Structure 1
Amino acid sequence: MSSSASSAEQAERILAGLDENQACAAQVLSGPVRIIAGAGSGKTRTITRRIAYACASGAWNPDATLAVTYTNKAAAEMKLRLARMGVHDVHASTFHSAAYSQLRRAWRILSHFESPEIADPRDLALHAHAAMAHTLQLSDYTDSEVRDVLQELSWMKVNLLGYEDYERIVGSLGHELPLDLEPRQMLDVARAFETEKRRHNVIDFDDCLLLLAHLYENYEDLAEDFRQFMRHITIDEYQDVSPLQHLVLTRWLGKNRDICVVGDPAQTIYSYAGATSYYLLNFAEEFGPVSHDVQLNTDYRSSGNIVEYANAVLAGSPVASSAYITLTSPHDAGPRVHLAKFASDGEEMRGIASRILWHHARGTALRDVAILTRTRMRARDLARACREAGLAVNLRLDGENEVLRGAVSGSDGGVDVGAPSEEAGQDGAITISTIHAAKGLEWPLVFIPDCHEGNIPFSMEQMMTRSDEDEDIEEERRIFYVAVTRGIQQVYLCVAQYPFEGGRGVQRTVSRFVRQASNAVRRAHRGKS
């Protein structure tokens, strides 16, 4: 058999098992291509097969192919999948890993020295603390306060806000600053922070992207050399791209338009870190004419009732028809999404643990169970309560000191805090995770606690009066949607009427998202009967 015939057979095997829309997306090998991929719709499978098919068929050179993934773990998984399909040498990495690799090469070429190292998050916190103490004349800051300042410093950079524009933009957006600082105080901290980093000869993730964009703009010959290894670019999770990352992408492309982006506007939940679905939604306007624009709307993960409920969550949005896609499920309906009400927070936590034990006694493995919380503090509280009930627990929290998407060394959007208990055995441990850290993951049985106003949507008092049209509220809707769509077979929504035992504390109201979605599902079922 000739090598060309063998390659053709390999290419056809790669497409086997894809549904019609997935196969269509995988066979359009020149960009621009946009794939809107709903939860559980097989987006990673589709883009991996697309890359493998293009390389196996000879349309692409693997060594000139770049796939940008959300995490280093996802990049490693993509390389493994490609290798199993006989495709090697594709460059798969996060934005920051790819950028830092290029920055180090460029630094050696231009200066004959090594580039500054990217500082460890703990060191960055120390540098930020020193900058705050020097500028604000106070040294007694909590880790949380330093983290909030670091997040603000990153927010400035990822949104490409120069010092001269910062005060005006903050005022026009009504953007709240950490520690109730004035914009000019924040700028003083920013300058002092940069001084601290220079003194220690380190940079952060955002600096890496800014410096690389500068090099591409000012050293065209060097930029063209680097572009030889990025003739075919695929960007996963494009709904989470920040203005800074988008700037780097445009520098990578130059005049090239062989780009494929994939994402879901309904899963944009990192706006606090600069993520925006604007570039995904406006892809055709920026890169058009588009070679192919496809939607993957079959959720192969979740049961029919979970998918129906998730659709109902989005249907309550004022932008649903223009921004979000409606999912379908090929699976049986399964149990309905259940709302469990409790008298107090303590009763809710004990009740969740008791229900998990009930499922476990009937054959559900603990590793197949997750509790997804809105905050880190609540995750820790629930971990304590579940361990007291005799459950082995694996606690996952979104990164304390890093901007999500930013880990060069390899975070998957969360960190494991505390290994599973020794008694876990082959049955594993339940996962307790913030919703943000759970994005991209799935479990047969999911509990979502604290489904009340003030937590979902999470809000301070001044935010409670905002309408559903407010973007902060819309982001909260998407966070809840991501939580619901992590479930495979069954989802429990939980809410406590009062914070404390005996009806003490302010009485709570069930989350507007739960009320809207539950009412919509009930109306739909009445209409069918």
Structure 2
Amino acid sequence: MPSAEEILRGLDPEQEEAVRAVRGPVCILAGAGTGKTRAITHRIAYAVATGVVPEQQILAVTFTTRAAGEMRGRLRALGAPRVQARTFHAAALRQLSYFWADAVGGPKPTLIDSKIKTVAAAAHSCGFQVDRTELRDLAAEIEWAKVTQTRPTDYETAVAKEGRTPPMPPRDVARVYEAYEELRSEHNLLDFESMLELTVAMIHERPDIAERIRSQYRYFVVDEFQDVNPLQKLLLDAWLGDRDDICVVGDPNQTIYTFAGATPSYLTGFPEVYPHATVVRLVRDYRSTPQVVRVANAVLRSGGAAALSPDYRMELVAQRPDGPEPTYTEYDDDLAEATAVAEKITGLINAGTPAREIAVLFRTNSQSATYEQALADAGVPYTVRGAAQFFDRPEIRAALHTLRGASRADDGESLVTTVRHLLQPLGLTEQPPEGRQAREKWESLAALAQLAETIAAQRPEARLADFVAELHTRAAIEHAPGFDGVTLASLHAAKGLEWDAVFLVGLTEGLLPIIYAETPEQVEEERRLFYVGVTRAREHLHLSWALARSPGGRRTRTPSRFLDGLRPAAAAPARQHRERHRKKDRMVRCRVCGATLLEAVERTLGRCQDCPASVNEELLERLRHWRREAAALQKVPAFVIFTDATLQAIAEQEPSTAAQLARISGVGERKLRRYGEAILTLCAGGTPEQAISGLREETP
């Protein structure tokens, strides 16, 4: 284990102050990119190294398994592997399960990670017919009520007091909420909120159990304290009892979950609860360039009357060298914006920025499809963030089982060859399959294969057993291997992450702030969400918006109010880009019924999705066969060559000339030059082998 002095080495003065404060209540106000995880893990390790507390008596709590895993990994490297770093729910479940027979008795309940099925049954029992979107909103509303400790009988009053807009009339939500709780109890189901409630009740009602838990955990660290909700605070207080060895860490400027019950008041009010607390402010930003930091600081300074007080604005001080100035660009429509963003991303990649270090961030998940299409048309691989935790995915669990079994009879083949061979029956084909869900499964397995290649390059002697051990270590700390593609993510999903280049898109009124943000407090939360997006960028920051939804549509949108005062006075709309892309066919109409096409897939097909169209199935199969071969030859995902929708449009329209092919959305000048001859060969009846020959000649 490193010595105490070695643990302090390399810390800045404020970080060192936080690390040395190992006794009593401590509040660390840590701005974005200021090294808060480094500070708290070094503080824990320093407390252990100086004999303040045994490592097994420390409980570090955070909000995501990924963050908890990162913390465990850092603590292991600092010589404190036995520190418990868990989420609130994981820690509560562990304690509740251990004491269940003694404290509760009877069969253990079934833990549910989704309320949707039970909420649907509850709504049906109340006579309501709701679709899946409404069910998700109802489930979220019930979750808010439970974390804020609002009972069904009090729900209507609480909603009116908070100014919330529920998905149904408040009285109806209360009825569904009550029915949900009855069904959950009847079927012995336990949701996450009830799990925390039961743990709190167990500690309060059983002094003997409380004593055992408090004797086990004497030293607490809580990360992201601005995101704590009232129910989690109840649990934390139950763990603490009358002790005060607690360190809380957070940034009130990154509070973006108040709609789900979180409140920054526990963080900002910490010094009032503990007047003798040590308060440390981390403001040195090691993540972003001065140019990005200036934007971030300006975003917070321009907050309205409901913004946080100046004491908590956390003015960041950049520590990195200068970088490029952020760009602000206005476009005619969403398609022009997405196309331009894809072009800029291509330029960054060609200049040496890895695709995995680039992100496109938006306010709502519905904005993703346009950028998926634009990146695919530009030949740029991408991945959509927001799926299940990597090691919880069914295909990864199956892969771990297969790899573990095979490691017992390693035949001596190379690591990469063995892993790819074992993953093939699970779905690791040479190129991604068609369909988004199938492609996401393929990406997971491909990430394992890429990790095997990385390990083999670093450790040529590594065998399958070594690879399995590495995977188990990563699973324990939630350190998932990455897929080498541009990240598409919502602003909420981007919190806690960072990239070299960030594109913040769709920055218009109604999207950011979202149209549902009506009160000053809600608008300020949207501002903080914008701040989170800005501070994800290390070096390149591009901000953009479009005045209309579709080409030729009315330009009724206005830039987000959050851009006021940020844009340089000389910043002008992207007129050159608009001129370059203004074509007669920008207004795409259905070739069957003549209706204006708005959706990306329909624009690619050249028709409404429900309009009849004949397709040459034989040609479509030849196109798919050729695409698989071309993708394998160029070592890129198949959708980078052409998307499914583009192949479908080609098979429907059967172009016979380059001009006809060029008019199909998704082809474009670059792909026409590279693949045009091959596609026309296939359309004329040629075989995939004939069409691929030209590519073989040009591929080194």
Question: What is the CA–CA distance in structure 2 between the aligned matches of 1:521 and 1:35, rounded to whole Å?
Answer: 40
| Residues 153 and 174 in structure 2, CA contact (< 8 A), matched pair in contact too | no
Partner of 1:150: 139
Task: Name which of 93, 96, 99 aligns with 1:100.
Answer: 93
Task: Name which of 476, 495, 505 aligns with 1:439.
Answer: 495
| Residues 332 and 555 in structure 2, CA contact (< 8 A), matched pair in contact too | no
Q: Per-residue CA shift, 1:295-352, capped at 9, x if unaligned?
A: 0001100000000010000001133513311000111221111101111101111111
Partner of 2:286: 300
Q: Which has the larger radius of gyration?
A: 2
Change in CA separation of 1:210 and 1:519 when aligned onto 2, cut-off 3 Å = farther
TM-score, with length taken from structure 1: 0.88
Question: What is the CA–CA distance in structure 2 between the aligned matches of 1:206 and 1:398, rounded to whole Å?
Answer: 22
In structure 1, runs of 5+ residues without a counterpart are 1-6, 401-414, 523-529
Partner of 2:119: 128
Task: Name which of 39, 56, 78 aligns with 1:85.
Answer: 78
Partner of 1:4: none
Change in CA separation of 1:151 and 1:417 when aligned onto 2, cut-off 3 Å = farther
Task: Name which of 373, 376, 387 aligns with 1:384.
Answer: 373
Question: What is the CA–CA distance in structure 2 between the aligned matches of 1:520 and 1:165, rounded to whole Å?
Answer: 51
Change in CA separation of 1:423 and 1:61 when aligned onto 2, cut-off 3 Å = closer
Question: What is the CA–CA distance in structure 2 between the aligned matches of 1:237 and 1:230, rounded to whole Å?
Answer: 20
Task: Name which of 190, 195, 198 aligns with 1:208.
Answer: 195
Task: Name which of 518, 526, 529 aligns with 1:479.
Answer: 529
Partner of 2:346: 357
Partner of 2:575: none
Task: Name which of 13, 18, 26 aligns with 1:25.
Answer: 18
Alignment of 1:375-454 (within 5 A): 375-397=364-386, 420=443, 428-454=484-510
Pairwise CA RMSD of aligned residues?
2.3
Task: Name which of 42, 63, 68 aligns with 1:70.
Answer: 63
**Number of equivalent positions:** 487
| Residues 7 and 78 in structure 2, CA contact (< 8 A), matched pair in contact too | yes
Change in CA separation of 1:285 and 1:64 when aligned onto 2, cut-off 3 Å = same
Partner of 2:357: 368
Name which of structure 1's ranges 505-514 and 337-346 shifts more when overlaid on structure 2. 505-514
Question: What is the CA–CA distance in structure 2 between the aligned matches of 1:478 and 1:80, rounded to whole Å?
Answer: 29
Alignment of 1:18-417 (within 5 A): 18-121=11-114, 124-135=115-126, 137-139=127-129, 141-178=130-167, 180-181=168-169, 183-290=170-277, 292-318=278-304, 319-320=307-308, 321-397=310-386
Question: What is the CA–CA distance in structure 2 between the aligned matches of 1:508 and 1:25, rounded to whole Å?
Answer: 46
Partner of 1:525: none
Question: What is the CA–CA distance in structure 2 between the aligned matches of 1:172 and 1:295, rounded to whole Å?
Answer: 34
TM-score, with length taken from structure 2: 0.67
Q: Per-residue CA shift, 1:414-458, capped at 9, x if unaligned?
A: x99565499998992100011111111100010010011111111
Partner of 2:597: none
SS in 1 for 2:567: helix
Question: What is the CA–CA distance in structure 2 between the aligned matches of 1:213 and 1:66, rounded to whole Å?
Answer: 16
SS in 2 for 1:518: coil
Change in CA separation of 1:286 and 1:520 when aligned onto 2, cut-off 3 Å = farther
Structure 2 residue identity aligned to 1:117: T
Shift of 1:89: 1.4
| Residues 152 and 178 in structure 2, CA contact (< 8 A), matched pair in contact too | no
Shift of 1:165: 2.4
Identity between Structure 1 and Structure 2 (%): 38
Structure 2 residue identity aligned to 1:236: D
Question: What is the CA–CA distance in structure 2 between the aligned matches of 1:421 and 1:509, rounded to whole Å?
Answer: 39
The answer on 1:501 being equivalent to 2:551 is yes
SS in 2 for 1:228: helix
| Residues 11 and 57 in structure 1, CA contact (< 8 A), matched pair in contact too | yes
Change in CA separation of 1:29 and 1:96 when aligned onto 2, cut-off 3 Å = same
In structure 2, runs of 5+ residues without a counterpart are 390-436, 455-482, 572-700
SS in 2 for 1:495: strand
Shift of 1:241: 0.3
SS in 2 for 1:302: coil
Question: What is the CA–CA distance in structure 1 between the aligned matches of 2:298 and 2:441, rounded to whole Å?
Answer: 36
Question: What is the CA–CA distance in structure 2 between the aligned matches of 1:521 and 1:249, rounded to whole Å?
Answer: 51
Question: What is the CA–CA distance in structure 1 between the aligned matches of 2:388 and 2:73, rounded to whole Å?
Answer: 26
Task: Name which of 473, 484, 488 aligns with 2:538.
Answer: 488
Question: What is the CA–CA distance in structure 2 between the aligned matches of 1:315 and 1:431, rounded to whole Å?
Answer: 29
Question: What is the CA–CA distance in structure 2 between the aligned matches of 1:422 and 1:501, rounded to whole Å?
Answer: 38
SS in 1 for 2:317: coil
Shift of 1:233: 0.2
Partner of 1:404: none
Q: Per-residue CA shift, 1:247-284, capped at 9, x if unaligned?
A: 11111100010000000000001112111101000001
Q: Per-residue CA shift, 1:156-201, capped at 9, x if unaligned?
A: 01111123322212122322111x32x2221211121112222332
Structure 1 residue identity aligned to 2:120: H
Question: What is the CA–CA distance in structure 1 between the aligned matches of 2:105 and 2:445, rounded to whole Å?
Answer: 51
Q: Per-residue CA shift, 1:381-419, capped at 9, x if unaligned?
A: 32232123211111013889xxxxxxxxxxxxxx99565
Q: Per-residue CA shift, 1:437-495, capped at 9, x if unaligned?
A: 111110001001001111111114xx5xx57xx00000000000000000001100011
Shift of 1:520: 10
Question: What is the CA–CA distance in structure 1 between the aligned matches of 2:27 and 2:107, rounded to whole Å?
Answer: 38
Alignment of 1:2-17 (within 5 A): 10-17=3-10
Question: What is the CA–CA distance in structure 1 between the aligned matches of 2:387 and 2:91, rounded to whole Å?
Answer: 22
Change in CA separation of 1:169 and 1:32 when aligned onto 2, cut-off 3 Å = same
Change in CA separation of 1:114 and 1:298 when aligned onto 2, cut-off 3 Å = farther
Structure 2 residue identity aligned to 1:385: A
Structure 2 residue identity aligned to 1:517: L
| Residues 309 and 521 in structure 1, CA contact (< 8 A), matched pair in contact too | no
Q: Per-residue CA shift, 1:30-63, capped at 9, x if unaligned?
A: 1200000000000000000000110122111111
Structure 2 residue identity aligned to 1:99: A
